[in-house]
Chains A and B, each alone.
Chain A
Amino acid sequence: MRLPVQLVLGTVLFGLFLAAALLSLVWTPFDVTELDIAHKLAAPSAAHWLGTDHLGRDMTAMLMAGARTSIAVALLAVGIGITLGVPLGLAAAARRGSLLDEIIMRGNDLIFAFPSLVIAILITAVFGPSAINAILAIGIFNIPVFARVSRGAALTIWPREFILAARVAGKHSARISAEHILPNIANLLVVQGTIQFSMGILAEAGLSYVGLGAQPPTPSWGRMLADAQTFFYAYPRLAILPGLAIVLTVLGLNLMGDGLRDLLDPRLRRTVR
């Protein structure tokens, strides 16, 4: 079987940033908390591959550590969405048409109805800006996304005969959902997961940009952008590099999502009978 091109390209792109983030846990070219005012705003050189910022911090190290923040925040936010959203969606599908279904889905509508970034700002404004609060804020908006996707997909599985057979075997709906429904909708959730992941990275950058995400000295792409704003005309490199990092990561994840969808959806797979 041939892998879709997007999948390969996306995985390589995202893999690059993931590797940088993982590497930054054990090694960065310079300490990101160390200020070196004497060498501030240095151009790229053998010592500083991508130059330094206005406080003399090494840009390579900042980007690597920033990848860590972005990916960790987005990953945990997707995790929150899946662990809470999927069971809710499955429960709604199992009791379709009931009061429980109504409550879950209308609750989802309620969350959907709010502009997500504004609520995220509200949450971080009330509880104080921090990476944890950014995770919570982004995570909450992932819940209805996963609830809807899993409910919709589960509804198409419920009328199938193997579900009826499981009911004849006396299995209750929670068990059927876990044993029969979930494995059959997992591919959709994986695809949705990569898309939400990329949106999480964007949201994290947005929150950090306005100062509501990870706090200094933890590096973050969004805050690097904000810091670079005042130097943009003199040193565009400071804004372009984190901007490029965000764009490429999101692009990589979106390509991965597209590729995975093509790979996992048999209807889009070209087959000869």
Chain B
Amino acid sequence: MIALENISLLLSGIPVLRDVSLRIPPGQTLGLVGESGSGKSMTALSVMRLLPDGAKLSGRVLLEGRPLTDLTERKMCAVRGGQIGMIFQEPMTALNPVQTIGDQVAETLLVHGAARRSEAREIAKERLARVGLAPERFPLDRYPHELSGGQRQRVCIALAIALRPKLLIADEPTTALDVTTQAQILELLRELVREEGMSCLFITHDLAVVAEMADEIAVMKAGAVVEQGPTGALLREMRHPYTRALFDASRHCPDRAPIVQDAPLLEVENALRDYPLKRQGLFGRREYFRAVDGVSFELRRGESLGLVGESGCGKSTLTRAILGLEPLQRGAIRLDGEAVSPAMPADLRRRMQVVFQDPYGSFNPRHKVSKLLAEPFHLTGRPADMEARVAEALENVGLQATDADKFPHEFSGGQRQRIAIARALIARPELIVLDEAVSALDVSVRAQVLDLLADLQARFGLSYLFIAHDLSVVRSVTDRVLVMRGGQIVEAGETEAVFTAPAAVYTRELLAAAPVLPTA
């Protein structure tokens, strides 16, 4: 049993948590949801006492009745990893790349003096088997890079539960994983919590995931818990307006009235792209990896076309080829009848723009917004009314003309994504490729950006190629959808038809794995 009593946290004098009180009985999962900056992760770090310098914590954390907040740092080290296990979002960076998985699990046992060297490997083997990595297929001497993302997350879980902790903290454990992998990891966590009798603090921004996982939900906003209750009752009642707003935003479906013309704007014909792999030895044969394997489709003028698939399915490679950044080995891509290639003329390039996923990484941090937005003018030559065009583009996406003088770090994530859209719009393109453009945004911001995109489509007659892994978003904003796997398109059709009656086996798996928000 873990109990947080009136936890408040000040970071350099700024309140980050206010009076947070939570209780998690053994074998139960508490879902902590909220948008970024709401204090979810800080709550977990307060329990672990892994706070940044200058933090002031008040209130009590009780683990099995023992107050953790009074322990010395030395005693706290024994609690971390011993009685409290933690799983992080990014399984790629949470493991030591130069240590075998067996050694990493065994080391946790040794550090805490829970086992002798001879026994540690046996226990490690058993724990890894417990998380679904059977020793026959995954011997202890495997290295993290030999495993997939989901398997690595299993190793992280094995590390966290190595000492049979009383409390398991899972901070966005499936956010970096594919839908089908996510379903497996969630299933594993559910089973472990129940059978090992742990309390589980499950932190996520994904309401559908928490609805499936948690026995109880606590909704956080600006450092305070605004509503808390058993999952079923909370979802039925939603007493606090913020809870309701959060759920409405994640179900948000923008109003769209697409005017789709018959003429194709973008044609992809039998596209094929190989990547050379590393040569095996100096004179070894060079092997090739086929990233895109005979893909053909059409995107009509005014249409929103969705492209879904899991990581490694070839959608990024295809996107780069469509944008004319990388050549194809075979096949052709045409925009309005003209061939797309890395050497295509500037005016053709102008007609196709892109918005990327990461609102933090898609701007040069050293340039002002005015300069960032003007970048596509490289294709058209600087118009005389450049400043007016920049101002117009900013206003079109709901920002102010005066924002042109600011640097990207002065904006929030959602505002930055608006700037990215403004940059795509400024050259007056016909097609905008949205490469996971809303994946990194909070639900309420995501809803606003989706509305903005729908509005811009209606005003400027834009066509969208909407690439995403989030099926519910694709469903709400596209007319047709393509499902991609292993470099091929396995299913294509009207969005509603594909979602309600999927024909391909893979599409069915994908839809079954995706967590669904219960309807109110």
A161-B361, A162-B361, A184-B366 known; A170 vs B378 contact (CB < 8 Å): yes
| Interchain CB contact (< 8 A) of B379 among A161, A162, A164, A170 | A170
Q: Indicate if A25 sits at the interface (CB-CB under 8 A).
A: no
| Interchain CB contact (< 8 A) of A272 among B54, B346, B363, B376 | B54
Cross-chain contact A273 with B52 (CB below 8 angstroms): yes
Cross-chain contact B346 with A164 (CB below 8 angstroms): no
A166 to B323 CA separation, bound complex (whole angstroms): 12
Task: For B52, list chain A residues within 8 Å (CB).
Answer: 272-273
Considering only CB atoms, which chain A residue lies closest to B319 in the complex? A164
Considering only CB atoms, which chain B residue lies closest to A97 in the complex? B276
* B: contact size bracket: 20 to 34
Bitwise, A142-158 to B at CB < 8 A (1) or not (0) is 00000000000000000
A161-B361, A162-B361, A272-B52 known; A168 vs B11 contact (CB < 8 Å): no
Task: For B423, list chain A residues within 8 Å (CB).
Answer: 165
Would you list which residues of chain B between 354 and 369 have a CB under 8 Å from chain A? 354, 356-358, 361-366
A161 to B420 CA separation, bound complex (whole angstroms): 11
A165-B375, A270-B53, A272-B54 known; A170 vs B363 contact (CB < 8 Å): no
Cross-chain contact B366 with A161 (CB below 8 angstroms): no
A164 to B354 CA separation, bound complex (whole angstroms): 9
Cross-chain contact B325 with A161 (CB below 8 angstroms): no
A180 to B371 CA separation, bound complex (whole angstroms): 12
Q: Indicate if A95 sits at the interface (CB-CB under 8 A).
A: no
Q: Indicate if B12 sits at the interface (CB-CB under 8 A).
A: yes
Number of interface residues of A (CB under 8 A): 17
Interface SS of B by simple majority: loop
Contact count A vs B, C-beta below 8 Å: 57
Task: For B357, list chain A residues within 8 Å (CB).
Answer: 161
| Interchain CB contact (< 8 A) of B362 among A165, A167, A170, A270 | A165
Considering only CB atoms, which chain A residue lies closest to B16 in the complex? A273
Task: For B366, list chain A residues within 8 Å (CB).
Answer: 183-184
Cross-chain contact A168 with B364 (CB below 8 angstroms): no
A180 to B12 CA separation, bound complex (whole angstroms): 34
A160-B361, A183-B366, A272-B54 known; A169 vs B375 contact (CB < 8 Å): yes
A161-B362, A272-B11 known; A168 vs B53 contact (CB < 8 Å): no
Bitwise, A254-273 to B at CB < 8 A (1) or not (0) is 00000000000000001011
Q: Indicate if A171 sits at the interface (CB-CB under 8 A).
A: yes
Cross-chain contact A168 with B354 (CB below 8 angstroms): yes
Bitwise, A201-230 to B at CB < 8 A (1) or not (0) is 000000000000000000000000000000
A273 to B39 CA separation, bound complex (whole angstroms): 12
Cross-chain contact B364 with A162 (CB below 8 angstroms): yes
Cross-chain contact B53 with A272 (CB below 8 angstroms): yes
A237 to B518 CA separation, bound complex (whole angstroms): 87
Considering only CB atoms, which chain A residue lies closest to B326 in the complex? A167
Task: For B469, list chain A residues within 8 Å (CB).
Answer: none
A205 to B346 CA separation, bound complex (whole angstroms): 55
* A196, chain B: closest CB distance, angstroms: 24
A183 to B368 CA separation, bound complex (whole angstroms): 13
* A169, chain B: closest CB distance, angstroms: 5
* B412, chain A: closest CB distance, angstroms: 15
Cross-chain contact A171 with B358 (CB below 8 angstroms): no
A161-B361, A180-B364, A273-B52 known; A171 vs B378 contact (CB < 8 Å): yes
A167 to B371 CA separation, bound complex (whole angstroms): 15
* A144, chain B: closest CB distance, angstroms: 25
| Interchain CB contact (< 8 A) of A161 among B323, B349, B356, B376 | B356
Cross-chain contact B376 with A169 (CB below 8 angstroms): yes
Task: For B323, list chain A residues within 8 Å (CB).
Answer: 168
Q: Indicate if B250 sits at the interface (CB-CB under 8 A).
A: no
Cross-chain contact B11 with A273 (CB below 8 angstroms): yes
Considering only CB atoms, which chain A residue lies closest to B365 in the complex? A184
| Interchain CB contact (< 8 A) of A168 among B325, B358, B363 | B325
Interface centre among A161, A171, A273 (most CB of B within 10 A): A161
Considering only CB atoms, which chain A residue lies closest to B363 in the complex? A162
Cross-chain contact B325 with A164 (CB below 8 angstroms): yes
Q: Indicate if B495 sits at the interface (CB-CB under 8 A).
A: no
Cross-chain contact A165 with B12 (CB below 8 angstroms): no
Q: Indicate if B104 sits at the interface (CB-CB under 8 A).
A: no
8 A-B interface contacts by CB (under 8 A): A162-B363, A165-B354, A165-B363, A165-B375, A168-B354, A168-B376, A171-B378, A184-B365
Chain A residues within CB distance 8 Å of chain B: 160-162, 164-171, 180, 183-184, 270, 272-273
Given contacts A161-B361, A164-B362, 20 further A-B contacts (CB under 8 A): A161-B362, A164-B325, A164-B356, A165-B356, A165-B375, A165-B420, A166-B364, A168-B353, A168-B354, A168-B376, A169-B349, A169-B376, A169-B378, A170-B346, A170-B349, A170-B379, A183-B364, A184-B365, A272-B12, A272-B54
